[in-house]
Structure 1
Amino acid sequence: MYIYNVTINIDETVHKEWLTWMETHIPNVLNTGKFSSAKFTEVLVEEDMGGKTYSVQYTANSKKDLDRYYKEDADKLQAESLKKFGDKMLAFRTELKLIKEFYPTNVSN
């Protein structure tokens, strides 16, 4: 499993508009068929640059799906966000490969 993580810092002046827009943008990314789910989270740290920071983690079943997203969809979807919010947002992307998931075990005291 692969995680395509997008971390975004959004300026306070467009924050509410951006949150509303993300309610459409995230489903649009999922509707490419390359991802099985997405988690939208707020990063709980105050940035020196101001604004609010969020992370969206899209789950892909394979590296092939992720590569197809880059080839077929990423440029168009990223351009939409730049056109709408321009220099009011800063984004960086990270790829993660899941090695193993751990879960708590029932431990008696």
Structure 2
Amino acid sequence: MTGLPHCCNAWPPTSPPRTARSRPWSPRPDPWVEGWVAVRLGTAPDRGFIAHADATGSHITTNGGDPDGEPVLYDHQAHTREWPSDAELPPADVIKATHDLVATDGERSTIVNWRTWGL
């Protein structure tokens, strides 16, 4: 699907990276103890989104628009996939929120808005 933004599975829900299993004690709860964290990241030069799922539920970024509007299209492994119309954010917000996800072992970033979302 040439020309469509890309989407990928950024955090496989199978097993944690080796460093996550052997890191020093942290006062934050370990998301891997809860079972899993899965992240889908959509990127384009001028926009993107993050979908996040863990033991507490599924969430997606929101720009405050109408979630029932015309879906946005992203290329996911050579297949067109529809995503909610309100999910896209400016790229700087997606980059910062993605950094926060990694830095906090998969917790949702507080710098972007999220809403519940069913797959």
- With the shorter chain as reference, the TM-score category is 0.3 to 0.5
TM-score (norm 1): 0.32
Which structure's relative contact order is higher, taking Cα pairs within 8 Å and 6+ residues apart? Answer: 1
TM-score (norm 2): 0.30
Query: Higher Cα Rg: structure 1 or 2?
Result: 1
Higher helix share: 1
